[in-house]
Amino acid sequence: MHLNLITAPDPIFKQKALPVEEVDDEVRAIVDAMFKVLYKERGLGLGANMVGILKRICVVDCGEEDKREPITLINPEIINTSGGLAEYDEASLSYPGISAKIKRPKEITVKFLDKDGKNQELKAGVPLSTVIQHEMDYLDGRTFLDFLSKMKRDRLLKKMQKHKRYHAINTAQSQNCGDTDCGHAH
């Protein structure tokens, strides 16, 4: 299965993902393909909406490139928050070239199904808790920009459009590294 990253603007970012009824081979193939996109784009997490799939699936990996720590969250649900709020500079692969400081709970406990369909529970602190909450927002039809004022959101969206135009011009003029899994010009 091959998936591609969707970038804004796209109506899928306002749609709610549906629960996964059964963790089967199709769902595992989606998860594997999502991790390929995540690593190709050098991100920390993906919600399934970001690759055009309206299923409640998130993949995250806050590990270093040489020490992967992949986590698959199917039908994730936050069951507890604690530790107050933390402000974290958030960005998104689907909104290239922009970021914003967002306040979220420092610690969360999330229950979910893993790639084998087994019930799991994870207590996470910053930055993992922020990444999980950020990706879960996509599944609920929200993005990090929805936490901002309209004025700030509009300003960032204009900045993103400039970034996309500049990147498109420079990508067309440059060579890539030759790695078929790498989507970046070097």
User: pLDDT tens across 104-132, in order?
Assistant: 999 999 999 999 999 999 999 999 999 99
Average pLDDT, the chain: 91
User: ∠ CA(134), CA(137), CA(142), 5° rounding?
Assistant: 120
Mind telling me the catalytic residues? 135
Q: How many residues does the chain have?
A: 186
Which of 55, 82, 31, 58 is CA-nearest to residue 131?
58
Section 144-159 average pLDDT = 95
> So what's the pLDDT on residue 185?
47
Rg of the Cα atoms in the chain: 16
Residue 175, pLDDT > 70, answer no
Domain coordinates of the chain in residue numbers? 11-148
What is the edge-to-edge ordering of all strands in the sheet holding 119-124?
45-47, 57-61, 70-92, 95-113, 119-124
Instruction: Look at 106-115, 141-150, 168-177 and tell me which has the smallest mean pLDDT.
Output: 168-177
Residue 91, pLDDT > 90, answer yes
User: pLDDT tens across 34-61, in order?
Assistant: 999 999 999 999 999 999 999 999 999 9
Look up the CATH architecture of domain 11-148: Alpha-Beta Complex (3.90)
Section 83-100 average pLDDT = 94
User: ∠ CA(149), CA(106), CA(127), 5° rounding?
Assistant: 90
177 vs 123, more confident: 123
Give the separation between CA 93 and CA 101, rounded to whole angstroms: 16
Residue 74, pLDDT > 90, answer yes
Give the separation between CA 50 and CA 138, rounded to whole angstroms: 8
Q: Is 78 left (phi over 0), alpha (psi -120 to 50) or beta?
A: beta
Residue 152, pLDDT > 50, answer yes
Q: How confident is the model at residue 186 (pLDDT cuts 50, 70, 90)?
A: very low
Give the separation between CA 130 and CA 126, rounded to whole angstroms: 6
Q: How confident is the model at residue 171 (pLDDT cuts 50, 70, 90)?
A: low
Q: What are phi and psi of 184, to 5 degrees?
A: -110, 140
Section 62-73 average pLDDT = 90
